[in-house]
Chains A and B, each alone.
Chain A
Amino acid sequence: MDLTFSEEQDELRKVVRSFLARHSDEANVRRLAADLQGHDPVVWRRMAGELGLQGLAVPEEYGGSGFGYVDLGIVFEEAGRALLGGPYFATVALAAEALLRCADEQARHDFLPGIASGGTVATLALTEEGGRWDEQGIGLTAAYDETGGWRLNGVKTYVPDGHLADLLLVAARTPSGTSLLAVETADAPGLARTPLPTLDQTRKQARVEFTDTPARLLGPEGTAWPALERTLATAAVLLAAEQVGGAAAALDAAVEYAKIREQYGRPIGSFQGIKHKCADMLMEIESARSAAYGGLWALDAGGDTEIAIAAALAQAFCSEAFTKVAADNIQVHGGIGFTWEHPAHLYFKRAKSSEVLLGTPSYHRELLATRLGI
Chain B
Amino acid sequence: MELDFGPDVRDFRDEVRDWLADHLVGEFAEHRGVGGPTDGAAWEVRLAWDRELSAGGWLGVGWPREYGGRGLGLLEEIVFEYEYARVNAPYRATVNALDLLGPMLLRMGSEAQKKRFLPPILAVEELWGQGFSEPGAGSDLASVRTRAELDDGGTSRSSGAESGGEWVVNGQKVWTSFGVHADWLYVLTRTDPRSARHKGLSLLLVPTDQPGVEIRPIRNLAGQDEFAEVFLSDARTGADMVVGEVGQGWRTAMATLGIERGTTLLPQQLTFEREAEALIDLARERGALDDPMLRRRIVDAWISVRIMRTTNLRTIAELTAGRTPGAQATTAKLYASTRHQQLGRLATELAGPAGQIVGEGYALDRRQRSFLLSLAETIYGGSSEIQRNIIGEQVLGLPKEPRP
Q: A residues near B, CB below 8 A?
A: 1-4, 251, 255, 258-259, 266-267, 269-272, 274-276, 278-280, 282-283, 286-287, 289-291, 293-294, 302, 306, 313, 316-317, 362, 365, 368-369, 372, 374
Beyond A282-B327, A294-B307: 9 further Cβ-contacts under 8 Å?
A4-B321, A251-B396, A270-B398, A275-B392, A290-B314, A306-B1, A316-B303, A374-B283, A374-B298
Q: Once the chains bind, are A291 and B398 in contact (CB under 8 Å)?
A: no
Verify B328–A269 contact, CB threshold 8 A: no
Within B274-306, the residues touching A (CB, 8 Å) are 280, 283, 289, 295-296, 298-300, 302-303, 306
- Separation of A313 and B316 alpha carbons in the complex (Å): 22
Closest-CB distance, A326 to chain B (whole angstroms) = 17
A372 pairs with B385, CB closer than 8 A: no
Given contacts A316-B303, A368-B303, A372-B302, A259 and B323 within 8 Å (CB-CB):
no
Given B302, B388, B401, which contacts A279 in the complex, CB threshold below 8 Å?
B388
Q: How far is the CB of A56 from chain B (nearest CB, A)?
A: 22
* Given A275-B389, A317-B303: A255 and B398 interface contact (C-beta under 8 Å): yes
Q: B399, A294: Cβ atoms under 8 Å?
A: no
Decide: A278 near B397, CB < 8 A? Known: A4-B317, A293-B314, A368-B303.
no
Known interface pairs A276-B385, A368-B299; A290-B311 also in contact (CB < 8 Å): yes
Q: B313 — which chain A residues lie within 8 A by C-beta? A: 1, 3
The contact of A4 among B310, B314, B334, by CB within 8 Å, is B314
Q: Which of B39-83 contact A (CB under 8 A)?
A: none
A-B pairs with lowest CB-CB distance, top 8: A3-B317, A275-B392, A269-B398, A279-B391, A279-B388, A290-B310, A286-B328, A4-B317
> Which residue of chain B is the closest to A274 with respect to CB atoms?
B398
- CB pair B310–A293 under 8 Å, yes or no, is yes
A275 near B307 (CB under 8 angstroms)?
no
Residue B194 is within 8 A (CB to CB) of chain A in the complex: no
Which residues of chain B have C-beta atoms less than 8 A from A316's C-beta?
Answer: 299, 303
In the complex, how many angstroms separate the beta carbon of A36 from the nearest chain B beta carbon?
A: 37
Least Cβ–Cβ distance between A138 and chain B, in angstroms: 25
**Contact call B323/A4, Cβ cutoff below 8 A:** yes
A267 to B401, CA, bound (A): 10
Contact-residue size bin, chain B (C-beta under 8 Å from the other chain): 35 or more
**A3 cross-chain contacts in B, Cβ below 8 A:** 310, 313-314, 316-317
Q: Mark B192-210, 1 if CB is under 8 A from A, else 0.
A: 0000000000000000000
Q: Which residues of A contact B385 (CB under 8 A)?
A: 272, 276
Task: Tell yes or no: B28 within 8 A of A by CB.
Answer: no
By a CB distance below 8 angstroms, the chain B residues around A258 are: 398
A280 CB contacts on chain B under 8 angstroms = 388
- Pairwise interchain contact A286-B396, C-beta atoms closer than 8 A: no
Smallest CB separation, B232 vs chain A (Å) = 33
Contact across chains for A290 and B328 when beta carbons are under 8 A apart: yes
Cβ–Cβ < 8 Å partners of A293 in chain B: 310, 314
Q: Are A365 and B398 in contact (CB under 8 A)?
A: no
Please state if A291 and B307 are interface contacts (CB–CB under 8 Å). Answer: yes
